[in-house]
Structure 1
Amino acid sequence: MLRITADVYSGRPDPVADITDEAQARAALRELTRDRTLFTASRPSEPLTGGLGLRGFWLETFDDGLARDFDVDSRLYVPVGPQAPAGRVAEVAERLITIADWGRAPDTFAGTAPPVDESFRDFLLGELSGSSTASVQDGTEPAGGAEEELPAVTCQIELGAFNPGFWNNDPTVQSSNNCYNYASNWRTNTFAQPGRGCGSMYTRIDCAEVTRAALCDGMHHRFDCFPDGEKPRFLVALVVIPGGGDFHWYRKQKEGFWGHKPGGTAARNYDNSGNVIYDPETADRGPYTIFCGYFYGCNSQRQRIR
């Protein structure tokens, strides 16, 4: 059996699928090992072009004979997109996407991978071909600009210095914390989910439901101020993938730009085009094209997340 984990989400755990037909699993590994530059035994260093959307695939074998026959480690990483090495990686990745059963949760999987349907295959193929588009809104004021002058209330917030090493220097910390952890500036090592801490996690992925869950944890809509006793109060932003795929959060930093952490990958301050993020509304967000709005985190909220 060959297990495939799509390294694609930011907020939710990544989807998992199995190839249970041994002949298909062997054929996939045979194609992959024809060019051993296409994979690595561990996650590669985060390149400038890595970010939101499909980054690659984890492959796991559950038969030591299968790993031995192809002279590979039991766990491999196949990067895709701009960060992939030159060669046949798109062809191999398309084969993996096509033969995996994305509509059925693996019987032997004990983790927290979200259920997906067969449409997830089409989403992955679209990501592989680069058909997803960035969300760009012409003429909008950068966050922190004129928009903040419109409400009748002014809220005090705190802006922390950008410190990606806090999230990136330990491999366990990096893989176990996601965008919601980063936005809340609270390391739980649980891949925190909106609403899980308050006992009412989201039931679908859209702006309204993820917002409800985050407010349940203790966030506020922007310009709904927190008192000084709730310091630090961070300005954050929420985006989602159309159709309920996943969510992603950003946090504004002291330096004036916005930081974020796509899933279990490295924290950073640049978008999918490699540009420093000064406005999350106009940044290249890959498939996360729906902008849900701005929010405040607070001390009690970040200590509640799980």
Structure 2
Amino acid sequence: MLRITADVYSGRPNPVAEITDTAQARTTLRELTRDRTLFADPRSPEPPAGPLGLRGFWLETFDDELAHDLDVDSRLYLPAGAQAPGGRAAEVAEQLVTLAEWSPPPAAFAGPTLPLDASFREFLRTQLASSGRTSLQDRTEPAGGVKQEENAAVTCTIEVGAFNPGFWNNDSNVLYNNNCYNYASNWRTNTFAQPGRGCGSMYTQITCDEVARAALCDGMHHRFDCFPDNEAPRPLVALVVIPGGGDYHWYRKQKEGFWGHKPGGTAARNYDNSGNVIYDPETADRGPYTIFCGYFYGCNSQRQRIN
């Protein structure tokens, strides 16, 4: 079997496609690996740190004879979009998008799994064409939703921790199994935590209102809805989503004045898709996550509830 995983999401587990026919898997893998220079160094403990949006594709074989006969590692990573190495990389990525029948990963997490419709393949193609970037002029903001306006009459005490990316990045198990919601909550669960799963009422679609509802169920508050001191630490976080219900992403404010984030199973960082340090998540280059939903507070009981 050959499993292809699109490394594209931040909050939700990444979509997968599986080729179970041995002969087809062998033919497909042989064609995709004709040029080994397109793939990341298999000796590297992690793929290149990509942007929000499409970063690349994982190829995994589950048959040691197949890996041996083709002289390939059992797990390969093809960088795509902005970090593609050039040459045939775009062609190979397009092949993967076209041949795959994408679906949510099996047993990815308890609770409702949102189906992937035909628009997902077109979303991947758009990401390839745009190198995974979206210009400031192309950004959209919600007409309504949960975004809050500044409220000068209310002052809430928050805690901002020092930026410590090594806490998330230096162990491969932690790196791959914690996502943006873990980072925003500042709590490692190694379960790819999902809003609402901890309280038993996970989101049912990817919209500002629904993801926010699930996070509030876990114990978050809207900005300016203060927590008491016994709920410290109380971080300030921000939520964004992809138009059309693809995925969500969270940011957390840091002591140094900038914002940190962790796109899915990739490295925590403090810069945006243009490589700029994030001092304002509303104006940062967020790639396809163009809908800014608003600001929230986490709290101690919320972070211990997430799952």
- Asked whether the two chains share a fold, i.e. TM above 0.5, the reply is yes
Q: Work out whether residues 28 and 95 of structure 1, in 8 Å CA contact, stay in contact via their aligned partners in 2.
A: no
1:7 is the counterpart of 2:7 = yes
Q: Which residue of the partner structure matches residue 142 of structure 1?
A: none
Q: Which residue of the partner structure matches residue 230 of structure 2?
A: 229
SS in structure 2 opposite 1:229?
A: helix
For residues 116 and 208 of structure 2, the distance between their equivalents in structure 1, rounded to whole angstroms, comes to 19
**Where do 1:76-95 residues align within 5 Å?**
76-95=76-95
* More displaced stretch, 38-47 vs 221-230: 38-47
Unaligned segments of structure 1, at least 5 residues: 139-146
Q: Which residue of the partner structure matches residue 247 of structure 1?
A: 248
Q: Which residue of the partner structure matches residue 212 of structure 2?
A: 211
For residues 87 and 268 of structure 2, the distance between their equivalents in structure 1, rounded to whole angstroms, comes to 28
SS in structure 2 opposite 1:59?
A: strand
Cα deviations by residue, 1:144-168 (Å, 9 ceiling, x for unpaired): xxx75x4311111111110101101
Q: How many residues align?
A: 292
* Percent identity for Structure 1 against Structure 2: 78
Aligned residue type for 1:87 = G
Q: Work out whether residues 134 and 287 of structure 1, in 8 Å CA contact, stay in contact via their aligned partners in 2.
A: no
1:30 is the counterpart of 2:25 = no
1:297 is the counterpart of 2:298 = yes
For residues 64 and 264 of structure 1, the distance between their equivalents in structure 2, rounded to whole angstroms, comes to 26
Q: Work out whether residues 43 and 77 of structure 1, in 8 Å CA contact, stay in contact via their aligned partners in 2.
A: no
SS in structure 1 opposite 2:294?
A: strand
1:182 is the counterpart of 2:208 = no
SS in structure 1 opposite 2:295?
A: strand
Aligned residue type for 1:39 = F
Cα deviations by residue, 1:218-261 (Å, 9 ceiling, x for unpaired): 10000011111111111000000011110000000011000000
For residues 121 and 86 of structure 1, the distance between their equivalents in structure 2, rounded to whole angstroms, comes to 21
1:272 is the counterpart of 2:273 = yes
**Where do 1:92-107 residues align within 5 Å?**
92-102=92-102
1:61 is the counterpart of 2:86 = no
Q: Which residue of the partner structure matches residue 171 of structure 2?
A: 170
For residues 4 and 114 of structure 2, the distance between their equivalents in structure 1, rounded to whole angstroms, comes to 14
* More displaced stretch, 122-131 vs 191-200: 122-131
Q: Which residue of the partner structure matches residue 144 of structure 2?
A: none
Root mean square deviation, CA, Å: 2.0
| 1:119 positional shift | 1.5
Taking a change above 3 Å as real, the CA distance of residues 135 and 300 of structure 1, as seen in their structure-2 partners, is farther
For residues 256 and 263 of structure 1, the distance between their equivalents in structure 2, rounded to whole angstroms, comes to 23
SS in structure 1 opposite 2:122?
A: helix
Taking a change above 3 Å as real, the CA distance of residues 59 and 190 of structure 1, as seen in their structure-2 partners, is same
| 1:76 positional shift | 1.1
**Where do 1:148-163 residues align within 5 Å?**
148=150, 150-163=151-164
SS in structure 1 opposite 2:216?
A: helix
Cα deviations by residue, 1:109-150 (Å, 9 ceiling, x for unpaired): 444475312221111111111176245679xxxxxxxx75x4
| 1:24 positional shift | 4.5
For residues 24 and 276 of structure 1, the distance between their equivalents in structure 2, rounded to whole angstroms, comes to 45
| 1:61 positional shift | 1.7
Taking a change above 3 Å as real, the CA distance of residues 277 and 206 of structure 1, as seen in their structure-2 partners, is same
SS in structure 2 opposite 1:300?
A: helix
Cα deviations by residue, 1:75-113 (Å, 9 ceiling, x for unpaired): 1111112322232111001001100112x567xx44447
**Where do 1:80-159 residues align within 5 Å?**
80-102=80-102, 109-112=106-109, 115-130=115-130, 133-135=134-136, 148=150, 150-159=151-160
Aligned residue type for 1:253 = Q
Q: Work out whether residues 250 and 258 of structure 1, in 8 Å CA contact, stay in contact via their aligned partners in 2.
A: yes
Taking a change above 3 Å as real, the CA distance of residues 105 and 166 of structure 1, as seen in their structure-2 partners, is closer
For residues 17 and 159 of structure 2, the distance between their equivalents in structure 1, rounded to whole angstroms, comes to 42
| 1:21 positional shift | 4.8
Q: Which residue of the partner structure matches residue 39 of structure 2?
A: 39
Aligned residue type for 2:71 = D
